[in-house]
Structure 1
């Protein structure tokens, strides 16, 4: 559904009426703050209004609005995160080292204890401070790795589409995702715990 110039205001008002509650619920779930959720939804609609002429109807309006909101949420946490970047460098080299350190000299898995922080996964995802550190860790990844992770987990793109976007093979994509997750784990354990 491409938006026509004369119908822009009517279409936009319908979207506000249709999707405000769903967007607000999602923002509240992700931030645990009514005021922040309201601000993020408002910012989402302002951005959408300014970009409405670019909406070509290749996705549902709700999907488009949620992608704008998700970016606003990420920006919110990124801005509020307190990662000491000078103390923790996320690089491809560090990702390769983490990946290599999973195996012993005979190429068997090293046994490693799991940090008890990961036993509280559900509570962590509802914690605004944790989400801030997570957003900052994602932002600190090497660019290609950040794109792979955000495309896979925040926009739910399929692997084939992500590979095309990045110009990489499927096996390279899975290696990047694996190493990026290892770096994120290390970053979270360093900056959150």
Structure 2
């Protein structure tokens, strides 16, 4: 599909959607401009099976999320700078110290079919498309394997560790659960 046709067909609907989420016409138009740049540069990479409208709205939703993240980071940095001026430096102990070793031990407990893929995608940062080529499997299959591996890793943590988080879900402390088998007590 051609970008001009996409623009004519979806511009008004996308602008309304973004304005509803952002509430600033100027910011909404900026976001929409970035969305159409992304659409233009990625439209040729789409599979024929992809539903174009769903894909366009996914790109738009991600752009809105990026907008809020960027603005939250700007506010956070401004607030952080103000607090630094007002508060003396206090060094807090690292509550998650050793969590990296715990994570490595948990990854070792994964079945072979997930272990290498999780290490390469999550620890080494290799893109899933590159892993799909390396292992000779279809990209959607690789995405599914990574998701299943993440889910298994998450279950290992919940089964074997007591995880304390703050309101935002940040890990504050991790302790091994009592009664968890010897092979499953890495924390």
TM-score tier (shorter)? 0.3 to 0.5
> When you count strand as a share of all residues, which structure comes out higher?
2
Normalised TM-score (structure 2): 0.44
Structure number with the bigger relative contact order (C-alpha 8 A, sep ≥ 6) is 1
